[in-house]
């Protein structure tokens, strides 16, 4: 059995929330240890251009921004490690976390910044252009700007899909919305909003067959009418997937209060979870905004809340 390591402040996850929490915790002499998780840097590592984060006048790539955040956290003494949390036990006064099913940590405070993963269709062509950064996205607010005056396709039928389609309609020449069934899952008011928007074309009973392109960038989307079997090609430079996000919170479900989708429920106006000494920042608790800047803000809150919690124990 490996030796148990005692840690004052453990940060699980390494996106903007995790790294910001680390910066604040390190500066407060909390000696934070951060485990990067299965996707070091989080969702932003799949984003080519970030132009809406304050301070980057000319924009920055997602991977470059994450490297800079990591270096800033390390500059103040954060111990950044490879590995991911596979099990926790928050039943006692000491918070136990296991890394890679082997290493056991006993933590005075834990900051969860495990984020959420966008759901994709899983098509090989979709994944190809997602990896290439050539036209596939799961965030219209993040990437819509790059498709100004162009034609795009969006997949989804819920409130988020309608919201993103409406957002894109203000930037793009045309938005084609693919809905698999004969009805929306969105609220009536959101459905009416997209139906009334002139440059949004809604194709019911349609599902994506393939994302087409030249190998580098998207040029069209092949869709199938599920009622008739007809195949059509829709010219598009952007393909947006809005079928939901899955918070990466599975290992916490037996110990923390989660909502019906799996997002961690925090005490309003704070980063506090249902367990004293355990805090949350970023997309693991945020199904509304899901932006790098809001994640960073809640990461700061988590570190400050953890610092105050430790001070109250002295």
As annotated, the active-site residues are 139, 142-143
What end-to-end distance do the CA atoms of the chain give, in Å?
31
The set of residues, in sequence order, having a beta carbon less than 8 Å from that of 256 and lying 6+ positions away, is 90, 249, 264, 265, 273, 274, 275, 278
Among 161, 134, 19, smallest CA distance to 143 is for: 134
User: In sequence order, which residues have a C-beta less than 8 Å from that of residue 112 and are 6 or more positions away?
Assistant: 12, 13, 249, 252, 264, 273, 278, 279, 280, 281, 284
Contact 21, 281 (CB under 8 A): yes
What number of other Cβ atoms are within 10 A of residue 49's Cβ? 15
């Amino acid at each position: 059995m490996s030796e148990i390591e005692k840690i004052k402040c453990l940060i699980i996850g390494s996106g903007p929330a995790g790294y910001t929490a680390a910066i604040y915790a390190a500066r407060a002499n909390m000696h934070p240890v951060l485990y990067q998780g299965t996707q070091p840097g989080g969702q932003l590592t799949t984003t080519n251009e970030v132009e809406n984060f304050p301070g980057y006048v000319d924009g920055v790539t997602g991977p470059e921004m994450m490297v800079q955040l990591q270096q800033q956290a390390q500059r103040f003494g954060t111990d950044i490690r490879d590995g991911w949390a596979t099990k926790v036990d928050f039943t006692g006064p000491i918070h136990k976390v296991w890394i890679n099913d082997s290493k056991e940590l006993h933590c005075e405070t834990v900051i969860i910044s495990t984020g959420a993963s966008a759901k994709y269709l899983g098509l090989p062509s979709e994944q190809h252009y997602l990896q290439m950064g050539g036209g596939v996205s799961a965030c219209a607010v993040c990437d819509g700007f790059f498709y100004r005056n162009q034609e795009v396709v969006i997949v989804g039928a819920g409130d988020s899909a309608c919201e993103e389609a409406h957002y894109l309609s203000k930037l793009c020449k045309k938005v084609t919305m693919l809905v698999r069934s004969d009805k929306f899952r969105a609220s009536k008011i959101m459905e009416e909003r997209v139906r009334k928007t002139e440059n949004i074309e809604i194709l019911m009973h349609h599902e994506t067959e393939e994302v087409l392109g030249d190998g580098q960038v998207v040029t069209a989307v092949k869709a199938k009418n599920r009622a008739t079997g007809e195949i059509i090609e829709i010219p598009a430079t952007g393909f947006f997937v809005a079928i939901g996000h899955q918070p990466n919170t599975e290992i916490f479900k037996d110990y923390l209060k989660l909502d019906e989708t799996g997002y961690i429920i925090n005490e309003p106006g704070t980063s506090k979870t249902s367990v004293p000494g355990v805090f949350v920042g970023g997309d693991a608790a945020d199904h509304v905004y899901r932006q790098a800047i809001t994640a960073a803000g809640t990461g700061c809150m988590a570190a400050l809340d953890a610092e105050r919690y430790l001070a109250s124990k002295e």
